[in-house]
Structure 1
Amino acid sequence: MATLEECRAALDVLSANLATAQEGVRQAVQLDRSLSCRITDLDTTFTGRLARGGIHDVAAVPGVPADRAQIRLEMTGDDLVDLVAGRLDFAKAWGSGRVRVQAGLRDVLRLRSLL
């Protein structure tokens, strides 16, 4: 089971990857949305802002935060680490229910290109 530190490191890697994204992905990175990533097996939610080509102001809060983010992800810590490392395909994980996404359809399609 992935630790909180490993999950935070995975989000840092994802943010760094967004900052160096190539042109096709760069358009998707131009979102400005609140973001949360609930790690179900750790009962923790990482909150932040997807903006300016990265994920900013990341904080870990226990449970589910009172404020609902515009883009909400939910998965296990292992799945987050595997998604960012490229060992888990986002579309397959989403289709099988391993990753849950709550966002507008346009945002979901953009997220797919980021992960």
Structure 2
Amino acid sequence: MASVDECRQALQELGARLSANVAEAREKLKLDRTLACRISDLDTAFHGRLLDGQLVELADGDDPNAKIAITTTSDDLVALVRGELNAGQAIATRRISVKANPFDLLKLRSLL
């Protein structure tokens, strides 16, 4: 099981990767939505904002009113960010749950 710090670091790495490819990410994911990432096996969460293809304002704690909510285990989050877990397959097999409105899901799919 990955630690809370490893999960935080994985999300920061994801944010850095999106920032490094901001033009491409902005083109694929042009929206402004609050985001919650809930880690089920650690009973913890992180929240932030997806803003024009970037992950910003990342902080500890849940946002129960987030427009996009992702729930997964610590190991699956780390594997997903490292590219060791295919997001589409993880969603299909319910290793990752994503709750968002249908239009946002279509936009998020472009990043998978």
| TM-score over 0.5 (shorter chain) | yes
In the other structure, the counterpart of 2:98 is 101
**Match for 1:81: what amino acid?**
V
In the other structure, the counterpart of 1:92 is 89
**Match for 1:71: what amino acid?**
I
Instruction: Provide the C-alpha distance between the structure 2 equivalents of 1:103 and 1:47, rounded to a whole number of angstroms.
Output: 14
Instruction: Provide the C-alpha distance between the structure 1 equivalents of 2:85 and 2:79, rounded to a whole number of angstroms.
Output: 5
**Match for 1:28: what amino acid?**
K
| CA RMSD of superposed structures (Å) | 1.8
For normalisation by structure 2, the TM-score amounts to 0.88
In the other structure, the counterpart of 2:41 is 41
Question: Cα 1:68–1:22, aligned 2, differ >3 Å: closer, same or farther?
Answer: closer
Q: Which 4+ stretches in 1 moved above 4 angstroms? A: none
> For each residue in 1:31-51, what CA deviation from the matched residue of structure 2 results, as whole angstroms up to 9, or x when unmatched?
210000000001011011111
- Conserved? CA contact 2:27–2:53, under 8 Å: no
Deviation at 1:24, TM superposition (A): 4.7
Unaligned runs of 5+ in 1: none
Alignment length, in residue pairs? 112
Question: Cα 1:22–1:35, aligned 2, differ >3 Å: closer, same or farther?
Answer: closer
Deviation at 1:68, TM superposition (A): 1.7
**Match for 1:72: what amino acid?**
A
In the other structure, the counterpart of 1:4 is 4
Deviation at 1:106, TM superposition (A): 2.2
**Match for 2:82: what amino acid?**
A
In the other structure, the counterpart of 1:81 is 78
Percent identity, aligned pairs only?
45
